[in-house]
Amino acid sequence: MNSSLHTTHLTESPTALFDFETTATAHGWVALRPFEWDATAQALRRTQQLSSGQVVRLTMTADDSSEAEVHITIDSAAPLSATEEDEARRAVRRMLRLEEDFSDFYRLYQQYSDWSLQLKPGEGRLLRCPTLFEDIIYTLCTTNINWRGTIRMVDRLVAALGESVPGQAEWRAFPTAEAIIEAGADFLKRETGLGYRSGYVWELAAAVTEGRLDLGAFERPDYPTATLRRDLRQLKGVGDYAAATILMLLGRYEHLAIDSELRLFVTKKYFEGETPTEAQIRELYAPWGQWQYLAYWFDTPAP
DNA sequence: GTCCAGGTCGCGC
DNA sequence: GCGCGACATGGA
C-alpha cells in the first residue's frame, strides 16, 4: 500500500434492476487492459486518465444483496477536484450502463418461452469503456485476429503509451488520442503488434484530435441508428461486424455482429452443422427486433 | 512451410 | 451490387 495516495469513496445507483458481476464479466472487454476483474474481491478495476491529465485507479464493487448501489473507490496521487470526481462518476455510469433500460428486452424474453436464453433478472448489460474512443479501438483489435491476439495487442498498446498513476507504474491507463498521434503509426506497428490496424487506430486518433470527428455526437440518443451505423462504417477498419459491435456498445442492439464466432454458434445450435447464409442468420434472430444482439449474446449453446 | 483468427479494404466486373 | 486477394501478426 502506498500511503501517499489519496482515496475517494463514492456511490452510484443504477436506475433499474442491475446485476453487477454479469455486467462486468459477460463479454470480453473485462479481459482487456486496463480492465481487471478481481474475482476474490468481486471487484472491477480500471486505471483511467481524466481530462485534467490526472491518472486515477477506479475500483468498483456492489453488495451481494443490494444491487441498488455501486461502490467506487478512487486512488489518486492528488486529491480529486469536483470536476474530476464528476468525470469519474460519469465514467462508472458509462462502463456499467447504469442508466440503460432493458425492460422491453425482459418483456420479450418472458414472451418467447421457446427460446433458451440464459438471462437472470438484472442481466443484459455488457461492459464498456469510459469513452467511445476506447471502445472503438478495442473493437478494431477484435477484427481478423483470435482473442489471445486481441488481449496481446491492447496490452502492448497500454504498456507502450498509457500514462500511469505517479509512483504506480503498473497502474497504467489506456492511451489518449494525443499520445497515439504523437507516437505515430510506425511506432504502433513496431511496438504494439497492431499490424495493419495501426493505420486505422492512428487515423481514428487523428480525426478525434483534429476535431474532424465528434464521437460525443454518436452517444446522443436521438441519433437514428441507421445514420449512426452509416457514419460508423465511414471509419477506416469498421465494417459490418465492427459497426454492429460498436452499436451494441452504444446501447443499440438491433444489428447482429456476424463473425466467425457467431457463425460457429448458430451452425451448431440451429443449422445441424450446415453453414447458414447471412440472410438465414438474420432471419433467425429477427423476431428479437431491437434486441437481436443481446438475444444472440445470451443464447445458450447447443448441448 | 501452410492455414487461420470474434474482418475489412480496394479493386475489377 | 458481388467476388476476390491482400493485409500484419502469432499460434496451431
Return the pLDDT at A183: 97
Give the distance, in angstroms, between residue A8 CA and nucleotide B9 C1': 47
Positive or negative: CA dihedral A202, A208, A210, A214: positive
Residues 6+ apart with CB under 8 A from A262: A256, A281, A296
Distances (CA, A) of A224 to A35, A49, A219, A228, A252: 30, 30, 11, 6, 10
**DSSP β-bridge partners for residue A114:** none
Q: How far is the CA of A209 from the C1' of C10 (A)?
A: 32
Distance A195 CA to C8 C1' (A): 4
CA nearest to A51, candidates A80, A20, A15, A14: A80
What are the cell numbers at A271?
A: 443449422
Distance of C1' in C12 from CA in A281, Å: 29
Coil, strand or helix: which one is A35? Answer: strand
Comparing every residue's Cα with the C1' atom of nucleotide B9, the nearest one is A237
Distance, Å, A3 CA → C8 C1': 44
Query: Which nucleotides of chain C does any protein CB come within 7 A of?
Result: 7-11
Side chain identity, residue A162? G
User: b/e for A249-276, b at 16 or more Cβ within 10 A?
Assistant: bbbbbbbbbbbeebeebbbeeeeeeeee
The nt closest to A27 (CA vs C1′) is: B6
* C-alpha dist (Å) from residue A194 to A48, A58, A215, A259: 22, 27, 22, 20
* pTM (two decimals): 0.97
- Does the C-beta of A147 come within 7 A of strand B? yes
Q: Which nucleotides of B are covered by protein (CB under 7 A)?
A: 4-10
pLDDT at A16: 87
CA of A222 to C1' of C11 (A): 44
- Position A63 scores a pLDDT of 82
Count the neighbouring beta carbons within 10 Å of the beta carbon of residue A184.
12
Q: Across the 303 residues of chain A, what is the mean pLDDT of every consecutive 10-residue run?
A: 84 91 96 97 97 98 78 98 98 97 96 94 95 98 98 98 97 98 96 97 98 98 97 98 98 97 95 92 97 98 88
Q: Tell me, what's the pLDDT at A303?
A: 84
For the segment 186-205 of chain A, residues whose CB is within 7 A of strand C: 189-190, 193-196, 199
Calpha distance A112→A192 (Å, rounded) = 45
pLDDT at A231: 97
Q: How far is CA A74 from the centre of its chain?
A: 20
C-alpha cell at A30: 473485462
* Sign for the pseudo-dihedral over CA of A277, A281, A284, A290: negative
* d(C-alpha A6, C-alpha A11), whole Å: 17
Give the pLDDT confidence score for residue A66 in this predicted structure.
55
Q: Which of residues 272-291 of A touch strand B (CB under 7 A)?
A: none
Å from the A196 CA to the C6 C1': 11
Looking at residue A65, its pLDDT comes to 62
Q: Is A282 exposed, middle or buried (0-12, 13-18, 19+ CB in 10 A)?
A: middle
Distance of CA A140 to CAs A28, A144, A246, Å? 14, 9, 10
Grid cell, residue A97, equals 450502463
